[in-house]
Amino acid sequence: MDCLSAQHTAKEVIFVKSTQVGGTEVGLNWIGYVMDHAPGPMLAVLPTVEVGMRWSKQRLASMIGASERLARLIEPAARAMVATPPR
């Protein structure tokens, strides 16, 4: 996780893992860290729009809602847009 911090000099981090070992949680922790410590544009790529919508509603929005610190960074209207499908 240290290599993913804004202060680390690494330009590329490769994360190799097996299934069901917490990779999504690592990704969510990193997104939360970036939101709080080094805000800027981020892109999460998932296999399909449907999977992306489900991940956005179930994982990302719930992480933001569960953290007072992150929730303060995101306006309620923008939080609702996290789980809105693209047009």
DSSP 11-40: S-------TTSSHHHHHHHHHHHHHHHS--
Q: What one-letter code names the amino acid at 84?
A: T
- Are the CB atoms for 46 and 55 separated by under 8 Å? yes
Output the CA–CA distances (angstroms, integers) from residue 25 to 32, 55, 76, 85, 87, in the order listed. 10, 12, 23, 23, 28
pLDDT tens-digit map of 29-49: 999 999 999 888 888 889 999
pLDDT tens-digit map of 45-71: 899 999 999 998 899 999 998 999 999
